Structure 1
Amino acid sequence: MAAAEPGRGTPVPARCAYFVERKKRFCKMTPAAGRRFCGEHGQQEEENDRKRIPCPLDPKHTVYEDQLQKHLKKCNSREKPKPVYFVQDINAGLKDVAEIPEKQVPISSLSKEELENLIIKLKKASNGLELCLKERILSHQALQEALNDPKNGESAFKHLKQQASILGNMEKLHLLGPGRCFVEFGAGRGKLSHWVDVALQNVENVQFLLVERATTRFKVDGKHKRRDSIFERLQVDIQHLCLKKVPVLEKKKLPVVGIGKHLCGAATDLALRCLVESYTACCDGENEQPAPKRSRTDTTEVASNNSADNEGNKDDCKPVAGIVIALCCHHKCDWTHYVGREFFKSVGLGPVEFHYFQRMSSWATCGLRETTTKASTSEDQTSDTEEHEQTFSKTESGSDTLQGILTVEERKEIGCLCKLLIDHGRIEYLQQRGYKAVLQYYIESTVSLENVLLTAVPSPSLIPEPTHV
Structure 2
Amino acid sequence: MAAEVECGKARLRCAFFVSHKHRLCKMIPSAGCRYCGEHAACEPDTTVGQQRKRIPCPLDPKHSVYADALQKHLKKCNSRERPLPVYYMKNINTEESDDEEDSDNNDTLPLHTEEVAGLIAKIERFSEGHCFVEFGAGRGHLAHWVQRALPANKRAHFLLIDRSTARFKVDGKHKQGAGEFERLKIDIQHLDLRKVPKICHEGFPVVGIGKHLCGSATDFALRCLAEQLPNLTNHVQSDSGIEVPRAEDQDTWTAGVGSQVLRSESQDWSRKGSSVAGLVIALCCHHRCRWRDYVGKEFFRARGLGCKDFSRLCRLSSWATCGWGRGRNGTEGHDPVGETTCPFESQLDLDVNTRVALGQQCKRMLDAGRVDFLRKRGFEATLKVYTDPTVSLENILLTALPRKVYC
TM-score higher than 0.5 here? yes
Distance of 2:249 and 2:220 partners within structure 1: 24
Distance of 2:60 and 2:395 partners within structure 1: 39
* Structure 1 position 324 matched with structure 2 position 280: yes
Q: Which residue of 2 aligns with 1:160?
A: 113
Offset from partner CA, 1:93-144 (integer Å, 9 cap, x none): x224x23x0548xxxxxxxxxxxxxxxxxxxxxxxxxxxxxxxxxxxxxxxx
Change (3 A) 1:446 1:103: closer
Instruction: Give 1:203 shift.
Output: 3.8
Contact 1:184-1:193 within 8 A present in 2 as well: yes
Partner amino acid, structure 1, of 2:286: H
Change (3 A) 1:309 1:330: farther
**Paired residue secondary structure (2:312):** helix
Instruction: Give 1:11 shift.
Output: 8.4
Contact 2:277-2:402 within 8 A present in 1 as well: yes
The counterpart of 1:434, out of the listed 362, 378, 388, is 378
The counterpart of 1:451, out of the listed 373, 386, 395, is 395
* Structure 1 position 241 matched with structure 2 position 194: no
* Structure 1 position 419 matched with structure 2 position 363: yes
Contact 1:367-1:398 within 8 A present in 2 as well: no
Alignment of 1:202-213 (within 5 A): 202-213=152-163
Distance of 1:13 and 1:398 partners within structure 2: 51
Instruction: Give 1:390 shift.
Output: 3.4
TM-score for both structures, normalised by structure 1: 0.71
Q: Which residue of 2 aligns with 1:260?
A: 210
Root-mean-square deviation (CA, aligned residues, Å) is: 3.2
Q: Provide structure 1 residue ranges, at least 5 long, that are not aligned to the other structure.
A: 1-8, 105-154, 285-300, 381-386, 465-469
Distance of 1:26 and 1:178 partners within structure 2: 53
* Structure 1 position 193 matched with structure 2 position 135: no
**Paired residue secondary structure (2:207):** strand
Alignment of 1:405-416 (within 5 A): 405-407=348-350, 408-416=352-360
**Paired residue secondary structure (2:228):** helix
Distance of 1:367 and 1:426 partners within structure 2: 27
Distance of 1:430 and 1:353 partners within structure 2: 22
Q: Which residue of 2 aligns with 1:26?
A: 24
Offset from partner CA, 1:431-451 (integer Å, 9 cap, x none): 000100000111110000110
Distance of 1:350 and 1:302 partners within structure 2: 35
**Paired residue secondary structure (1:400):** coil
Kindly tell me the number of residue pairs found equivalent between the two proteins: 366
Contact 1:360-1:396 within 8 A present in 2 as well: no
Instruction: Give 1:196 shift.
Output: 1.5
Contact 1:210-1:231 within 8 A present in 2 as well: yes
Distance of 1:249 and 1:365 partners within structure 2: 38
Q: Which has the higher contact order (CA 8 A, sep 6+)?
A: 1
Distance of 2:30 and 2:57 partners within structure 1: 21
Q: Provide structure 2 residue ranges, at least 5 long, that are not aligned to the other structure.
A: 1-6, 104-108, 235-244, 262-269
Distance of 1:225 and 1:66 partners within structure 2: 41
Distance of 1:304 and 1:362 partners within structure 2: 45
Distance of 2:312 and 2:143 partners within structure 1: 35
**Paired residue secondary structure (2:32):** coil
* Structure 1 position 88 matched with structure 2 position 90: yes
Contact 1:326-1:451 within 8 A present in 2 as well: yes
**Paired residue secondary structure (2:292):** coil
**Paired residue secondary structure (1:268):** helix
Distance of 1:164 and 1:304 partners within structure 2: 41
Partner amino acid, structure 1, of 2:91: D
Contact 1:373-1:390 within 8 A present in 2 as well: no
Offset from partner CA, 1:21-54 (integer Å, 9 cap, x none): 1111111112223221122222311121233322
Instruction: Give 1:228 shift.
Output: 3.6
Contact 1:366-1:398 within 8 A present in 2 as well: no
TM-score for both structures, normalised by structure 2: 0.81
Offset from partner CA, 1:230-264 (integer Å, 9 cap, x none): 01111111111111111111221011000011111
